[in-house]
Homo-oligomer: A and B are copies of this chain.
Amino acid sequence: MNRVYNFAAGPSTMPQEALEIAAREMLDFHGSGMSVMEMSHRSKLYQEIFDDTEAVLRGLMHIPDRYAVLFLQGGATGQFAAIPMNLMNGSGAADYVDSGNFAHGALVEAKKYGDARAVASSREADYAGIPALDPAAFNPDADYFYICANNTIYGTRYAAFPETGKVPLVADMSSNILSEVVDVNRFGVIYAGAQKNVGPAGLTIVIVRRDLLGHARPTTPKIFDWSIQAEKGSMLNTPPTYAIYMAGLCMKWLKAQGGVEGIERVNIEKANLLYDILDDSAFYRPRAEKASRSRMNVTFTTPSPELDAAFVKEAEAQGMVSLKGHRITGGIRASIYNAMPVEGVRKLAAFMKQFEVDHRAGV
């Protein structure tokens, strides 16, 4: 077996230790005589796995009891609708920061249900950075204020979260959850698709302050009603049982790395390895504004689309895969989530230097 370094934006690389445990337990979980995949979600044994997973997540993120933790289906895109359905129940208005493709998609979806508007946008600047925010422009009567904390496609990140006062701050953390220390208390809702930094695709984590529950509009599909899901322990219907188990294995791995506090230091180190090369080079061009640089998705270009393609191809031949940028931006993107080892990033950094040496002359 020859594992590659997988720089995909999500689904992406997972801790090898977690995969090894999953392989070992596939036909017989802890002497139960069955796979976790085969367990009734109503069984005591599965409930233990579920509760344990929630407890580990609460520990890693220091989630207070006054927040419910939900394990749902439908991805972030499902929550684009669930958020207004659950929260647009006062003024019917919400402020969105349009900082990238997924933030924009969330805004467009929310307009189906109420008066959602972009309070700031970097769309015209090709989403090169997080837009400047003017608190004076914020709607104090908004039902919520929406941000996408890390923009996977463009490689941008909030260096500081906006102050929204009494208006609940809602954050899509699909691509940076568990990668850096975040004070949950600052948020009304944090949510994330699991497939980047938590576990496999098919699981969506929603962390919601309990006082925000109980106000879903009547036409909300039951599975999207956070109050019902909180009351039912995320088991209104069958949850994605195996994805939850896998997320648990990955989170236990993270705990063993020193938790979020420990991995954040590693993530900064990993990101700097690549940004230092970009900053020292006249060959590579970083895509994101310096002040908005993501630690999870490092985006850049070489001097030409042809060289971008050559870069991706040569890297792949050396066991570093999925470095092609998103189809919207082109270029190169290295997604370096928690499970990407420092060695993988070092190997990529060395490759980048050599590629520059090899191709600089021809430009």
Q: Which residues of B contact A224 (CB under 8 A)?
A: 221
In the complex, what residue of chain B is closest to A34 when comparing beta carbons?
B6
Is residue A279 within 8 Å, beta carbon to beta carbon, of the partner chain?
no
Residue-wise interface mask of A (1-28) relative to B, using a CB-CB cutoff of 8 A (1 in contact, 0 not): 1111010111111101001101110111
How often does this chain occur in the complex, in copies? Answer: 2
Q: Are A1 and B19 neighbours in the complex by a CB distance under 8 Å? A: no
Q: Which residues of B contact A208 (CB under 8 A)?
A: none
Interface residues of A in 189-239 (CB under 8 A from B): 193, 195, 200-203, 218-219, 221-224, 236-239
Q: How far is the CA of A43 from the CA of B319 in the complex (A)?
A: 16
Asked, given contacts A23-B26, A223-B75, whether A13 binds B38 with beta carbons under 8 Å apart, the answer is: yes
Q: Which residues of B contact A73 (CB under 8 A)?
A: 73-75, 78, 202, 240
Q: How far is the CA of A215 from the CA of B246 in the complex (A)?
A: 37
Q: Are A77 and B222 neighbours in the complex by a CB distance under 8 Å? A: yes
Q: Are A201 and B19 neighbours in the complex by a CB distance under 8 Å? A: no
Kindly identify which residue among B33, B202, B237, B241 contacts A319, using a CB–CB cutoff of 8 Å: B33
Is residue A57 within 8 Å, beta carbon to beta carbon, of the partner chain?
no
Q: Which residues of B contact A109 (CB under 8 A)?
A: 221-222
Chain A contact-residue range equals: 35 or more
Q: How far is the CA of A309 from the CA of B181 in the complex (A)?
A: 49
- Cβ of A220 to closest chain B Cβ, rounded Å: 8
Most central of A13, A41, A75 by chain B CB within 10 Å: A75
In the complex, what residue of chain B is closest to A327 when comparing beta carbons?
B42
Asked, given contacts A81-B222, A241-B202, whether A3 binds B23 with beta carbons under 8 Å apart, the answer is: no
Q: Which residues of B contact A38 (CB under 8 A)?
A: 6, 8, 11-14
Q: How far is the CA of A219 from the CA of B80 in the complex (A)?
A: 12
Q: Are B11 and A241 neighbours in the complex by a CB distance under 8 Å? A: yes
Q: Which residues of B contact A223 (CB under 8 A)?
A: 74-75, 77-78, 81
